[in-house]
Amino acid sequence: MKKYPNPHIEKLNALLNNSKLPVNDKPRVAKTIDIYYQWLNNLTKTVKSLLTADEMLNVLVKLLIDYKNYIDVDFIFDSPNDFLYRNKGQLKLDNTIIEEFLPYLINPVIVPEIENLAVDIGPIKTFSSVYFESSLTFPALGGGLSVRSKNQDFAITRKLYLKASHFPDFTQEKSIITNLSYIAVECKTNLDKTMFQEGCATAHDVKTAVPGAKYFLLCEWLDMSPISTAPTDIDEVILLRKAKRLNSNIRGNFATYQGRLDYRDYYIEYLKNNPFRVEVFQHLINNIRKLLKNEGLDESNVLEVGYF
C-alpha cells in the first residue's frame, strides 16, 4: 500500500513541543499520539481487507467518527485547561484529520478507476502559475523560469516536469518539478463567508492552470447562509455532517473548563445527532469516479455519434 502524507501527526508533534502548552496537558497529548497511531493502523488494515466497497466505506467512516469524537471531546473539550479549546483553530488539529483521512477513501476497492493511474493522492503543493524572472538587459538562466504553487488540503495530481532555455538545444536550461492538480479539495471545520470567498479564489487558480480540473470545498459545519456556487469556480460545497455550527451563544460557554463541564452532555448529544454522513462521502467519491471515467474526445466517431 502506498504511503500517504501525515499532516495530522505533524500538528500533534508540534503541539507536544509547543512552549505554551500547559504542563498537565503534555501527557494527554502523548496519549493522543498513541491513539492516533492505533487509528492509522486500523485505517490501513481496513483498506487492505477483503471488504466490499460499501462495507469498507462504512468501516472507514466509523473509524473517522470515533477518532474525531475522541479529539473533539476527550482530548480538547475535556481538558482542564482552556488552551486547547481556545486555540484549536490555530493548532489545526480539526481539519488535518479530514486531510489525512481522505486518501484512504481513494483506494482500488472504493475507486477502481484509480488502480492503474500514476498519480499522487493526498495533501500536496500544486502548480498555480508560471512566470519568468528576467529582462532584456539582465537575462536569467532558462529565462528565469519560476512557478507559483499552492498547498492543497487534498488533491489527485500528476507530476509535471518543466524545462526552459534561451537555446534550441536546451543548453543553459532551468528545470522545475511540480504537480498538476486535477481534483482539489479544501477542508474546513467551520465554513464561513470569508473562507468561501477564499475558496472561490483558489478554485479559480486551479481551473486556470487545468481547465478540466474539479474543485470541492468540504466542511464539517456550515457557519454561513448557503450561497450558490454557480457563478464561482467551485464545483460543490460538501457538508460532511449536513449540519450548521452550534450557535455562538452556546459556544460562548465552552471557553472555560466549568462551562465545558456544564455543557458536556449537550455537546456530546449534538455530535451524536450530527455525525459524519456516509452518503456525503459517497457523493464525493461518485464525483471523483465520474471524473476518472471521463474519456477524451474521439475525433474518429464524431460524425457517427452526432456530438462532441
Q: What is the pLDDT of residues 125-149, one digit of tens each?
A: 999 999 999 998 888 999 999 999 9
Q: Give the per-residue pLDDT at 5.
A: 81
Residue 120 sits at φ, ψ, to 5 deg, of -105, 140
pLDDT in tens, 200-209: 999 999 999 9
Please tell me the pTM assigned to this model: 0.91
- Given a cut of 80, whether residue 245 has pLDDT beyond it is yes
Residues 61-100 pLDDT 10s: 999 999 999 999 999 999 999 999 999 989 998 889 999 9
Distance, CA of 203 to CA of 210 (rounded, Å): 10
Residue given cell 518543466 in the structure block: 162
Q: What's the CA gap between 223 and 196, in Å, rounded? A: 10
pLDDT of residue 101: 97
Determine the pLDDT at residue 94: 85
65: its cell numbers: 467518527
Q: Which residues are CB-neighbours of 36 under 8 A, at least 6 positions away?
A: 8, 9, 12, 67
**For the chain, domain boundaries:** 1-110+246-274
Cβ atoms 221, 245 nearer than 8 A: yes
Q: Which amino acid is at 35?
A: I
Cell numbers found for residue 159: 507530476
Work out the average pLDDT over 149-176: 95
